[in-house]
Structure formats: C-alpha cells, structure tokens
Amino acid sequence: MMDGRATLRVPAPSRAPAARPRHASTDLAALGEPYLWTLGGCLALGIAMVAGLLLLVFWNGALTFWPQPIAVLELAGGERLAGVETRGGTYRPRPDVVAALPPTAQAVVAQNRGLVERTLYRTGNFDLYGDDFRWVSSFQIAGIQYPTDMLFVERLEWGVFIGRLRSFQVGAGEPVQAAVSDAAFQAAHAVARARAQSIRAIERHEIGRINNTLERERLGARRVAFDHGEGSGEHQAALARLASLTSRLEQDYAGLAREVERLKAMDAQDRARFADVGGREKEMPLSQIVRLYAANDLNAVQQVAIYLARWWEFVSDEPREANTEGGVWPAIFGTLAMTLLMVVVVAPFGVVTALYLREYAKQGRLVSIVRISVNNLAGVPSIVYGVFGLGFFAYFLGGSIDQLFFPERLPSPTFGTGGLLWSSLTLALLTVPVVIVATEEAIAAVPRSMREGSLACGASKWQTIRHIVLPRAMPGIMTGIILAMARGASEVAPLMLVGVVKLAPELPIDGTFPYLHPERSFMHLGFHIYDVGFQSRNSEAGKPMVFVTTLLLITLITAMTATAIVVRARLSRKFAGSQF
Amino acid sequence: MGRLILPAATTIVCGILALAAANAQQVDPKLASYQTVSGVSGNLKSIGSDTLNNLMTLWAEGFQQRYSNVKIEIEGKGSSTAPPALIAGTAQFGPMSRPMKAAETDQFEKKFGYKPMAVRGAIDALAVFVHKDNPIQCLTLQQVDAVFSKTRKGGVDKDVTNWSQLGLTETFADKPISLYGRNSASGTYGYFKEVALFNGDYKDSVKEQPGSSTVVQGVASDKFAIGYSGIGYKTADVRTVPIAAKAGATCHDASEEATYSGDYPLARLLYIYVNINPNQKIDPLRGEFIKFVYSKQGQAATLKDGYFPITAPIASQDLKELGLAN
C-alpha cells in the first residue's frame, strides 16, 4: 500500500512566502506556528513509524539466512547440548529453584536481584529429541565451546540436524570415516543429490505425462458417455480406445517404474552416519541432505556463499515440511500471476466506465448516484468482496460453467470452486473504484480548450477522446492502476475465500495442455505469511520465515509498482514532447 | 476414559490399550509399508480442520513424492467447514479433529443416501498450555472447567478467575487468569467443550484465536495465560499442564504413554471424512491416499507433526471397513 501511496501526485505544499515579517507582539497562535509544528511533528512521527517497521522487517528478514555458529554447552548436570543461539531474556526463577542451586550460583542470582539470564537454543534433531528448541538458564551452563567439527545439516525431512559426521558409504562399499570438507564425501553428496533430482524428473515429467494422458482419455470417454449416452456405439469405441491406450501406457509406465526402482535402490545405499553432541547416532541417505556445513569453521566467502544459496533456494524452490522450509516459488508466482491478471481485468473496465461517466453520460442525478456508489464501493470491507466472489463467481458462475462444459468431471468441481481467475476478478472488483476515480480526475483535468480545438478541426467526439483526451490523461490513469495494483497485491482476506490455499504445488501456468489453468487454486505470499506465522507446528521456527516472506512480498510489490511508475514516466515524457 | 462419549472413540482407545507397549516415538512396526502403484493421478482437495492442516500437508507432500501427477490442495479453517464441503462436493477429503455430529451425518445422508466414512488418521492429546514460567503442577478436569466455563457443569461451585485459587503463590498470587481458546468453527473448541467443560459454555472472556498455533503464541507471550491446543503445536515457550480425570486421581502429562493407555483424559482421534459409496469401489486416487495415510510412511508424518501415530489394529480395521484391505 505504502509504495502505491508514495506515487500519488500530491500537490506540493505551497511554500510559505520567504522571510515573512514577524512582530514580537503578534500572538503565536494567530501566526499558526503551533499548528504547523504539530502537523509537521505528526508527519515526522508517521514516517518514523513506517521506516521503523520497514527497518525491522528488513533487518530480521535479511539476517535469517546468515549462517550462525553452533554452541556446544556443557550443562551443570554433565549433559551436553549443541545448538544455535536464537534469542534471550531475563526471568525470575522460583525460590525453590534458586535454593537448590550451589552457593556460588545463588550469590550471582542474589547479586542480580533475583534475575537470571536465559537463552533459547535451536537444538534441531527433532527426530531424536521430540523438540527442537530449548531454553537454558545461565546458571545451568558450565562451559561453552565452539568446536569446528560441529555440522549444521539441512535435511529434506525432519528439519535441521546438528551433530558430527561419523562416516559415509557409497554403494555396497564399507563405511568410510570422513570429514565434511573431504572431496570424496562432497562428490558422493553431489552424486546422490543429482540422482535424487533425476528420480524426481522421471517421476514428475515422464510418469506424469503418462498419468495425464490416461486421465484425459478417461475423462474423454466419460464425456462421450454424456454426449451420446452410456453404452452407445461411440461410447463403446471410446472405451476400447481407452483400454488399448491404457495397456500401452501401462507398459511404458512399468519400464519407467523399473528405472525409478533401480535408482531408488542405489539412492538408499548411499548413506551418511551422523552423531549428535551426546553421541546418539543417526543414519540418513545422502540425498536427503540439502546442505551441510561446519558452522564454526567458515570463512567470510563461504558464509556469503551459503547465505546466497539459501536465498536462491528460498525464491526458486517449492516449500517442504508443511511450508516451514524450502522455498516460496509457487507463492511468488501465484502473487504475480494473480496481480497481473487483476490489472488486465481492472484497467480496461475501470477506464471505460470512467470515460462513459465523464464524457458520454448526461450529468444529472443518476450519474451522481452512480458516482457516489462507486466511491462507497471503495469503503466496503474486503472480506465482503470475498463472500461475494465465492457466492457469485465460484459457486454461481463457476458452477454453471462446470455444468455446461465439464460435466464429465463432476462431482469434483473445475471452475466451481475457488481459483486464480475468480480471485483476480474479486480483487478487480475490489480495486475498480480506485481506477474509476483516478481516471475521472485525469480526464477532467484535460483542458477544455484542447478538446474544443480538436473538435473545431473536424475531429469526431471519439477521435478527440482517442487522440487528445486519453493520451493526456494516461499518466493519471496509470497512477490509478498503480494504486489498484498495490492494493490488490497486498490483500489477503478475500483471497482466503476464493482460491488461495496452503499448498498448491501445481502452478497456474505450466507445460501441460492448455498451459494456462485459471481454474487452479494458487498460493499467495500474503497468505503464506499468515500460514507460516500462525498455523505452522513450530511457531518458533516459523518466525524468521515470516520476516523473510514479508521482506519478499514488500520487494515484489515495490518492483511491480516501480515498473508501472517507469512506464508512466515514459508516457508523460512522450506526451510532453507532443505539446503545442 | 468415560468422558469420551462417542462409541467410535471408545473402541479406538480400547484398540490402543492393547498395543500400549509400542516403543516411544516409533511407528507401529506392524503397519504396512506403502507400495507405489500405477495409474494414479488427478486432483484432490481437502477442506476442514485447522488442527490437521499441517498433517494433511505432510501427507500430501509424501503422497506427491510418490505420485508426482497428483495435485492436492489443502484448506484448513476449522472442522465445521468439512461437512459442508463434502456435501457440496467441493472437497474429497474432510479432515476433522472431532467426530461428525449426528446433524452433519444426517445432512450428508440426506444428499447421498449413505453415511460418510471416517479414516482415523492420528491420535492427538489435547493439551492445556501455560507460560513456561508457570509452576502449576496439576489440574483436574473439574478445575479446568471452572477456569474456562461459566456454567461449571463439572461440579466446582466457585468460579476460578485468578491463579491463587489454583494454589499458586509468589509472582502468580492474585494475578487474574487470562484465557486463550479456539473459535467456534474449530473441532478442538467442540471437543474441549464436550470433555473438559462437560458440555457447558465457555466464558465470554476467552480470547478466541483463529488457529491452534495462535493459541500457543498467545500463551507464550502472556505470563498469566492458560489455553488449550493440540500437543503438536507445543513450543519451548509454553508448558503442558498434567491433567487428572477427577480430584484425587493421578495427574498425567500429555505424553505418548499416557495417551495410548487412555490415562490422559483429553486424548482424541483425528479423522479424515470421505464420501465413499458403499456399493461402488473407491477410485484409486482416494484409495491410495487412504492407504498411504495408514502406512508406516504416512504414520511417520504424525510424529513429525508432533502427534501420535495410530496402531496396526486400527489401521487394518479401518481399511477393512473402507473396502481397501488386500
């Protein structure tokens, strides 16, 4: 929102006349100085708050991916604990807890007037411990070390593992002791990762193609049954075709499945054995390891490399582990596609409405009522648009489309449920008042003399609008569209009703016919923030992801708005050149 | 366990009792390992419980790893959203953190002529959370009722509004209890009302939260708070309070052992409801998904999400009822 607002053409505040004579006898209030200062102070406060919020998001978001050192704590009871320091605080332990402490520790607590520091460590290893964060009070800690062989292992499943590498084995070979920096280990890891990717490629693309074809043919046969009747000649023929196709594709599938089996068997053999700080061992396939590094043994270049690799993973990968890890690519794509589709709908619709209202409609009571209604539309809570979108677009329009065009897929709805198209249309409705109002203002600002000049030269009304009014009004119209875009991209509430989901791994545009799938549900960065922040299992681990995703959303909206502003500047320049 | 009024739930817990000896944090080894088959593709949509939201996502991710052409969309805004979605056909799966009510089953039956089938996918111990510095050792269900309910059907005659009444001293003395709970669309809300509030009504002062995780975050940031949520959402900033079924009974923490043995009074099953016509064979897409949920790999996901896996007898009983047993 903020970005959009910043682009408004606010008339520059009229500057006070220079060096106004000031009489000591004049009352300050009469001069208006206190009001001026109050207004200025309020503005400064507002700007400071916005800047502070942005700074907070930026700071937290930008730091999340930086590799942090792993501390190994020696606890008073002799237990050892390894973890990454997350945050700290002070608290007042209960008297019985303090009483049970050794005298030296008691003295320290007493010195701090009963307050004790504690730190939250991210210990990882959820599969071994059943939790992944632990609070440690300062009096529990007997010693802290930062051993260079402690590894931070990011895995495909179960979250982070913190521990040491014991050994690894490739194929049927014997386990080999290794350090993480050994070339042999790194090569084995790279091979395993590449193999896992090729398994995924076969499963996703080749087997996927077979399954898609089968599904399409099965639906096709059902369609024939709908059109020509069950058991009719055409239906029999379609079923026969389906059967022959099925048997042929089953063979292809069997071949691919064998190949996948073979690769998976190889994959299962390449394993690494790790041990946590207490010596408990954990074996995992090498392909399960996304990234591992000795967190206490990194130089600056390696740190930057890990930082950048994590960012890249975040913006280009799919989410894992119920959205708390991996990337947000589907959400970025969903946000962009939804916003662009919305602009495509809202721009012509808003501009045409405004043109008619301003240029053609007879100005009278009716037009005033319409104008007031449009202005009021902008004040309707966005969730109301969501309810309307769900009821009208998804259930009524979409349901009718399904009945007419996709009867073979019922009862599973195609368009009869939330999707990208319905979301875009709902947001278009939500933002259309902004465009209408901005366009009307822009059109009204075109000087009357120019229209009259055009008409006097013999141009028709439409020609005047097309060649004189619209080009002059274009920058104003663009401003409206930019505002609409910023509003639309940051809106989440109505989307939750009309098509945004927690997990939609399939993008609305892909390589399967018909390439554009506006009926699909999609993921959205705004909803992703809500989901990770308030719905994920471990809200502690989710918190940094919330900041990163917010940072990304702000960046994305800024980028989209900036693009539109550049376009607007081009248009203004072009128009400025053609002035009389 | 007398509090689990629903017969289905009672049978389950008996089934669990038989296998209480299962290893800690381990999936029942008798569960079948999942075998990938061919020809599975299509779209699935799940609408329902927020408690099951992450678990459904984990299952969907696991299933999609095996069938890359299956698209599963997941929406979780509360258990009460599941029956309408199943009836309207907008979803194929309706995860619910409570059993369907009779009225919901009737509506479904009116439309389709048969009852919806329930997949018992995981076991949850509904936990009562307090701030990590809160020293409270035990609460009886009746005390919980007096804290959360204005009707107090549990039989405590005095309203409990501050921590002193629960025996806390020092910093907690005379501090008012701040209540966090779920919104009424949630199955957790319904289950807690039924079991912990003895079907009484919640106090108006309960701060209703839109998600299970929000409850935990609320409790984590409010030192004098108490709230209820699925055990899977526990963080390092909150503690679970051990619960006793009645005054004088032993307190049990929401541990795996106490949940399986039935000693923990707030244990419950998590369901996925499906529309299966008993006269037809289930389509391979949904059938395979259900089989995956009951498999070793599927149940490992329950551990990953902080819940407890179901046992082999439940799985085989359900698979038989759903017509999926081999």
This model of the complex carries an ipTM of 0.75
Read off the pTM: 0.81
Does A411 sit within 8 Å of B64, measured CB to CB? no
A interface mutation test: which of B36, B213, B276, B280 has the most A CBs within 10 A?
B213
CA distance B281 to A411: 16
Measure in Å the smallest separation between the Cα of A304 and chain B Cα atoms.
30
Q: A417 and A478 in contact (C-beta within 8 Å)?
A: no
The hierarchical CATH code for the domain B126-266 is 3.40.190.10
Measure in Å the smallest separation between the Cα of A17 and chain B Cα atoms.
53
B interface mutation test: which of A210, A506, A539, A546 has the most B CBs within 10 A?
A539
Q: A71 and A78 in contact (C-beta within 8 Å)?
A: no
- Measured between beta carbons, the chain A residues lying within 8 angstroms of B57 are 322-323, 502-503
Residue B233 forms contact with A (CB below 8 Å): yes
Measure in Å the smallest separation between the Cα of B152 and chain A Cα atoms.
31
Radius of gyration of chain A (CA): 32
With a pLDDT cut of 90, the percent of chain B lying above it is 17
Looking at residue A214, its pLDDT comes to 80
- Measured between beta carbons, the chain A residues lying within 8 angstroms of B186 are none
Radius of gyration of chain B (CA): 20
Does B50 sit within 8 Å of A535, measured CB to CB? yes
* Secondary structure, 3-state, chain B: CCCCCCHHHHHHHHHHHHCCCCCCCCCCCCCCCCCCCCCCCEEEEEEECCCCHHHHHHHHHHHHHHCCCEEEEEEECCHHHHHHHHHHCCCCEEEECCCCCHHHHHHHHHHHCCCCEEEEEEEEEEEEEEECCCCCCCEEHHHHHHHHECCCCCCCCCCCCEHHHHCCCHHHCCCECEEEEECCCCHHHHHHHHHCCCCCCECCCCEEECCHHHHHHHHHHCCCEEEEEEHHHCCCCEEECCEECCCCCCCECCCHHHHHHCCCCCEEEEEEEECCCCCCCCCHHHHHHHHHHHCHHHHHHHHHCCCECCCHHHHHHHHHHCCCCC
Does B73 sit within 8 Å of A501, measured CB to CB? yes
Interval A426-480: pLDDT, tens: 999 999 999 999 999 999 988 889 889 999 999 999 999 988 898 888 888 988 9
Does A535 sit within 8 Å of B76, measured CB to CB? yes
Looking at residue A575, its pLDDT comes to 67
Measure in Å the smallest separation between the Cα of B183 and chain A Cα atoms.
14
Interface list for B 103-132 with A (CB within 8 A): 132
Does A322 sit within 8 Å of B61, measured CB to CB? yes
Looking at residue B7, its pLDDT comes to 42
Residue B33 forms contact with A (CB below 8 Å): no
- Measured between beta carbons, the chain A residues lying within 8 angstroms of B171 are 92
Does B90 sit within 8 Å of A535, measured CB to CB? no
Measure in Å the smallest separation between the Cα of B235 and chain A Cα atoms.
6
- Measured between beta carbons, the chain B residues lying within 8 angstroms of A534 are 210-211, 213-214, 217
The 10 Å Cβ neighbour count of residue B260 is: 23
Does B39 sit within 8 Å of A250, measured CB to CB? yes
Residue B27 forms contact with A (CB below 8 Å): no
Tokens at A369, concatenated:
């009522």
- Give the one of B40, B75, B306 whose C-beta lies nearest to A537's C-beta: B306
Instruction: Say whether pLDDT at B156 is over 60.
Output: yes
Does A211 sit within 8 Å of B69, measured CB to CB? yes
Q: Residue B11 — pLDDT band, cuts 50, 70, 90?
A: very low
Q: Which residue has the higher pLDDT, B233 or A577?
A: B233
Measure in Å the smallest separation between the Cα of B50 and chain A Cα atoms.
8
Measure in Å the smallest separation between the Cα of A48 and chain B Cα atoms.
26
Does B58 sit within 8 Å of A321, measured CB to CB? yes
Comparing A148-162, A199-213, B138-152, B178-192, which segment has the lowest mean pLDDT?
A: A199-213
User: Distances from the Cα of A567 to the Cαs of A89, A478, A479, A563, in angstroms?
Assistant: 49, 8, 10, 6
Looking at residue B95, its pLDDT comes to 92
Does A539 sit within 8 Å of B216, measured CB to CB? yes
User: Distances from the Cα of A295 to the Cαs of A84, A180, A298, B185, in angstroms?
Assistant: 10, 11, 6, 45
B interface mutation test: which of A198, A535, A540 has the most B CBs within 10 A?
A535
Interface list for B 236-255 with A (CB within 8 A): 236-237
Q: Where are the domains of chain B?
A: 7-124+268-321, 126-266
Measure in Å the smallest separation between the Cα of A414 and chain B Cα atoms.
9
Q: Which residue has the tokens 């020609």?
A: A463
Residues making up chain A, counted from first to last:
580
Does B304 sit within 8 Å of A321, measured CB to CB? yes
Angle made by CA atoms A448, A452, A453, in degrees to the nearest 5: 115
Looking at residue A55, its pLDDT comes to 94
> What fold, for B7-124+268-321?
D-Maltodextrin-Binding Protein; domain 2 (3.40.190)
Q: DSSP letters along A146-210, please?
A: --TT-EEEEESSSSEEEEEEEEEE-TTSPPEE--TT-HHHHHHHHHHHHHHHHHHHIIIIIHHHH
CA distance B98 to A439: 53
Interval B39-88: pLDDT, tens: 677 788 899 888 888 889 889 988 887 877 787 888 887 888 899 989 88
Give the mean pLDDT of chain B: 83
Task: Tell me, yes or no, if the two domains B7-124+268-321 and B126-266 fold the same way.
Answer: yes
- Cβ-Cβ contacts under 8 Å between A and B: the total is 130
B interface mutation test: which of A262, A284, A324, A503 has the most B CBs within 10 A?
A503
β pairing state of A271-275 and A281-285: antiparallel
| Per-residue pLDDT in tens (0 to 9) along chain A, 580 residues | 344 444 444 444 545 455 555 555 567 667 777 888 899 999 999 999 999 999 999 998 888 899 999 999 998 888 888 999 988 888 888 777 888 888 888 888 888 888 888 999 998 888 888 788 889 988 888 889 999 889 999 988 888 899 999 888 888 888 888 888 888 888 999 999 999 889 888 877 887 788 778 878 888 888 888 788 777 888 888 888 888 888 888 888 888 888 888 888 888 888 899 999 888 888 888 988 988 899 898 899 999 999 999 999 999 988 887 788 888 999 999 999 999 999 999 999 999 999 999 888 888 899 999 999 988 888 888 889 999 998 999 889 988 888 888 877 776 677 877 889 999 999 999 999 999 999 999 999 888 898 899 999 999 999 999 888 988 888 889 889 988 988 888 888 899 888 888 877 678 877 777 778 888 888 899 999 988 887 777 778 888 889 999 999 999 888 888 888 888 888 878 766 555 4
Interface list for B 250-309 with A (CB within 8 A): 303-306
Measure in Å the smallest separation between the Cα of B65 and chain A Cα atoms.
8
Which backbone phi and psi does B162 adopt, to 5 degrees?
Answer: -135, 165
CA distance A539 to A550: 16
